[in-house]
Amino acid sequence: MLAGRRLRPVDRGAASAAVRASSPGLLRLEVVAGEPEVLVIGGGFGGLHVVRALSKGPAHVTIVDRHNFHTFQPLLYQVATAGLEPADVAYPIRTIFGRRSNVGFRHGAVAQLDLEGRRATLLDGAVIAFDHVVVACGAAANFFGIEGAERYATPLYTLADARRLRDRLLLTLEDAEEQPGIPAKPVNVVIVGGGPTGIETAGAVTELLNVCLRRDHLRIDPASAKVILLDVAPRLLGGFPGSASDYAAKVLTRRGVDVRLEASVASVTSDAVILASGERIASSVVVWAAGVTATGTIAASVRGAGPSGRIAVAPDLSIPGHANAWAVGDAAAIPDGKGSTCPQLAPVAIQSGRHCGRQILRAIEGRDTEPFTYHDKGIMATIGRNAAVAKVPGAPLVKGRLGWLAWMSLHLFYLVGFRNRIRVFVNWTWRYFDWPSGPRLIMSDAETAD
Ligand SMILES: Cc1cc2nc3c(=O)[nH]c(=O)nc-3n(C[C@H](O)[C@H](O)[C@H](O)COP(=O)(O)OP(=O)(O)OC[C@H]3O[C@@H](n4cnc5c(N)ncnc54)[C@H](O)[C@@H]3O)c2cc1C
């Protein structure tokens, strides 16, 4: 282990150039006395909390992310449905750690990870050497190999996805409007996946349609603007108690969503979703909210990655066979102590990130590491204005306005950046009182037109 010494990659230009120019046999990295170098791949919840735990310790940390910002994924659906601006749910990673002299940021995507050689190669060819590495690269949308899904459906995983979906929804509405001599076209928004993301998106799309028709006076027949929510399971919100599923289905149906359960999607085309039963559902926009996978991410390239690409970590979150390599959050299959793995949720990423940072410090100090224990504080999902479900272990299900207030408070609490919290709070308040608002801006044609 190189603990107690530091490879000098932040002068990383020089180290990287040496690595790129040399054959493996002649590889030469400059080693200087100093703190151990920790590389954290990914600035999501997991990565940020690893860095926070390490930032006051005897280590130099480099956080590398393909985006220069952290994304608050739980509110992406509000960006996609023109409730919030992209900047409201993202925060520059450099700004988060601006005051920490032992933390550096590198903008770039890790393309190769060599755990034995202790170096990561970025897409631009640069090489970063490390003493410890944490894989916190998250996951990606899972299309389950369904024909046409990746091509024609829009996932909701990144900020770019959310912006793309917003444009698609608004363009579809503009395109559907009645014109002189041309009748209005029907609008069918099909959402695949009845988990929290699917139901939140379905609720928010109905609100968007309502605002566009009522406030923006789009000439579209309300009866021909439909939101269809599909799930293969017999109920919505599979991870919640049955009463939460019933409540969500009831509220969505009352708000005009066509909820179809036990509907298995066989393929997606440019204008329809085809079910396994053979039924064809016409679609103007298809939102893919059917689940996530780590397959295709850098995590899946690590030996020991499981079937969905997640790295099966040891109880202390280290990668088996590598005392200096760790994985956290969505990228890791973390034992839950009950024979299964922890869910891919923000609290798991936060807690595992924090624990991992502490274990690296223990390893640096030569102390034994400790197993991770997940403290389940509950789950919640909103269906829209005044309607949400919240389940805390051991307590009864909270639903309705109380659940919605709890959902809003918790999301404001976890949102990164004080300015973002204020902006989101003001936006929500503004919308609640029904003032015409919201960034209903189509940016894709504006960006290419000039
Ligand atoms: C739409 C949506 C809604 C959600 N809603 C909720 C919710 O309501 N409640 C809840 O608890 N959880 C929710 N989740 C899940 C939660 O957001 C995730 O569990 C959590 O963000 C995982 O954190 P992470 O750090 O592991 O990964 P992420 O937050 O995904 O961060 C991974 C980071 O790694 C970067 N990265 C990836 N690959 C590379 C690479 N090769 N090189 C460099 N950087 C890379 C990415 O750019 C990203 O910044 C939601 C997820 C989604 C997608």
Note the pTM of the prediction, 2 decimals.
0.90
389 close to 403: Cβ distance less than 8 angstroms: yes
Distance from the alpha carbon of residue 32 to the mean position of ligand 1, in angstroms: 35
User: Could you tell me which of 280, 274, 283, 291 has the C-alpha nearest to residue 205?
Assistant: 283
pLDDT of residue 271: 96
For the CA of 343, the closest atom of ligand 1 is 19
Query: How much distance in Å is there from the Cα of 313 to the middle of ligand 1?
Result: 18
Contact call for residues 69 and 358 (beta carbons, < 8 A):
no
Evaluate: CB of 36 within 6 angstroms of ligand 1: no
Nearest atom, ligand 1, residue 64 CA:
43
**Amino acid letter, 97:** F
- Number of neighbours of residue 352 by Cβ within 10 angstroms: 29
What pLDDT score does 429 carry? 86
Whole-number Å distance, alpha carbon 433 to ligand 1 midpoint, is 31
**pLDDT of res. 439:** 83
Q: Is the CB of 309 under 6 A from ligand 1?
A: no
The whole-number pLDDT of residue 27 equals: 32
Cβ atoms of residues 130 and 8 within 8 Å: no
User: Which ligand 1 atom lies nearest to the CA of residue 157?
Assistant: 53
Tell whether ligand 1 has an atom less than 6 A from the beta carbon of residue 293: no
Cβ distance 444 to 450 under 8 Å? Answer: no
Q: Give Cβ neighbours of residue 249 (< 8 Å, ≥ 6 apart).
A: 235, 236, 259, 261
Q: HSE (CB half, 13 Å, CA atoms) of 291?
A: 16
- pLDDT at position 449, please? 58
Cβ–Cβ under 8 Å, residues 27 and 35:
no
pLDDT in tens, the chain (450 residues): 333 333 333 333 333 333 333 333 333 333 334 789 999 999 999 999 999 999 989 999 999 999 999 999 999 999 999 999 999 999 999 999 988 889 999 999 999 999 999 999 999 999 999 999 999 999 999 999 999 999 999 999 999 999 999 999 999 999 998 888 888 889 999 999 999 999 999 999 999 999 888 888 889 988 999 999 999 999 999 999 999 999 999 999 999 999 999 999 999 999 999 999 999 999 999 999 999 999 999 999 998 777 789 999 999 999 999 989 999 999 999 999 888 999 999 999 999 999 999 999 999 999 999 999 999 989 999 998 899 999 999 899 999 999 999 999 999 999 988 999 999 998 888 878 766 667 888 888 877 755
Distance of CA 112 to the CA centre of its chain: 22
Measured from the CB, is residue 195 less than 6 Å from ligand 1? no
Query: What is the distance between the alpha carbons of residues 397 and 243, in angstroms, rounded to a whole number?
Result: 8
Specify the DSSP element, H or E, that contains 52: helix 45-54
Atom 27 of ligand 1, residue of closest alpha carbon: 138
